[in-house]
């Protein structure tokens, strides 16, 4: 809608930045940063894997330039139904955003589609963690001839071995101790 057209490599940079942000929130923030409806603390129905599913939908949006639900069609279902791994570009020619230019070499395209589809698996246990997603996007960027660390201060190695008492923010040279408290899990009527 903004009129800005992003090529394949710019889209990969955008999704890597978003994945790193979510991975930071899931794996480095102590306590994990997030704002949830207090009812979810009671039902325990939202998990980190809920974010992974949403991120997979975002990856499909980046690939197709379609909204998650457009004209009554769900992008996940459309890609899943159309996808054929035996064909060039997995048979997704009609769904891929034309701005990407199908004549161009989309390095890592198949791995990108596979990652998106892993993220939108029905069962959360079958989805990767956001740290795994970051690593895979970094690998995809390398397949596209890009250096995933060229424009960013963090990479997947930032998430390995993080201490729970002192968190090193991936975009800062300082260590930061988070001293806040988690919201109460008690629901109280008004």
Contact 52, 127 (CB under 8 A): yes
51 in a domain, yes or no? Answer: yes
- The CATH number of residue 34's host domain is 1.10.510.10
Number of domains in the chain: 1
Q: Which whole-number Å values give the CA distances from 72 to 8, 75, 78, 98, 148, in the listed order?
A: 27, 10, 11, 21, 36
Rounded to 10 deg, the angle between the 75-82 and 109-119 helix axes is 130
What is the pLDDT tens value at each position of the chain, 190 positions in all? Answer: 567 788 888 888 898 888 888 777 666 655 544 433 233 444 466 777 778 888 898 899 899 989 888 888 889 999 999 999 999 889 999 999 998 877 667 889 999 999 999 998 888 888 899 899 999 999 999 999 988 887 554 444 444 444 333 434 333 344 433 333 333 334 444 4
Q: Which residues, 6+ apart, have CB-to-CB distance to 79 below 8 Å? A: 60, 63, 64, 92, 95, 113, 116, 117
Nearest to 52 by CA among 136, 131, 153, 129: 129
pLDDT digits (tens, 9 = 90+) for 137-146: 999 999 999 8
User: In this predicted model, what pLDDT tens digit does every residue of 7-34 receive, in sequence order?
Assistant: 888 888 898 888 888 777 666 655 544 4
Cis bond before residue 31 (omega within 30° of 0): yes
Q: Give the domain extent around 93.
A: 8-152
Asked whether residue 86 is domain-assigned, the answer is: yes
Domain membership flag for residue 141: yes
d(CA 86, CA 114) in angstroms, rounded, equals: 13
Reduced 3-state DSSP string for 67-136: CCEECCEEHHHHHHHHCCCCCHHHHCCCCCCHHHCCCCCCCCHHHHHHHHHHHCCCCHHHCCCHHHHHHH
Domain-embedded: residue 122:
yes
Instruction: Tell me if 38 is assigned to some domain.
Output: yes
Separation of alpha carbons 153 and 173, rounded Å: 10
Q: Please tell me the number of Cα atoms within 13 Å of 24 on its side-chain side.
A: 16
Q: What is the pTM of this model?
A: 0.66
In a domain, 116, yes or no: yes
Q: Is residue 81 part of a domain?
A: yes
């Amino acid at each position: 809608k903004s009129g800005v057209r992003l090529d394949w490599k710019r889209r990969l940079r955008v999704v890597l930045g978003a994945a790193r942000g979510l991975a930071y929130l899931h794996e480095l923030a102590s306590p994990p940063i997030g704002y949830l409806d207090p009812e979810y603390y009671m039902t325990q129905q939202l998990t980190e894997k809920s974010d992974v599913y949403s991120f997979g939908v975002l990856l499909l949006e980046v690939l197709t330039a379609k909204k998650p639900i457009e004209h009554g069609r769900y992008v996940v279902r459309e890609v899943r139904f159309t996808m054929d791994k035996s064909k060039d570009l997995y048979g997704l020619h009609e769904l891929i955003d034309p701005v990407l230019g199908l004549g161009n070499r989309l390095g890592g395209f198949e791995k990108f589609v596979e990652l998106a589809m892993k993220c939108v698996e029905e069962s959360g246990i079958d989805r990767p963690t956001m740290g795994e997603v970051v690593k895979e996007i970094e690998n995809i960027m390398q397949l596209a001839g890009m250096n995933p660390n060229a424009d960013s201060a963090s990479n997947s190695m930032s998430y390995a071995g993080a201490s729970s008492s002192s968190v090193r923010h991936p975009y800062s040279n300082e260590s930061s101790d988070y001293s806040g408290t988690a919201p109460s899990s008690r629901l109280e009527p008004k």
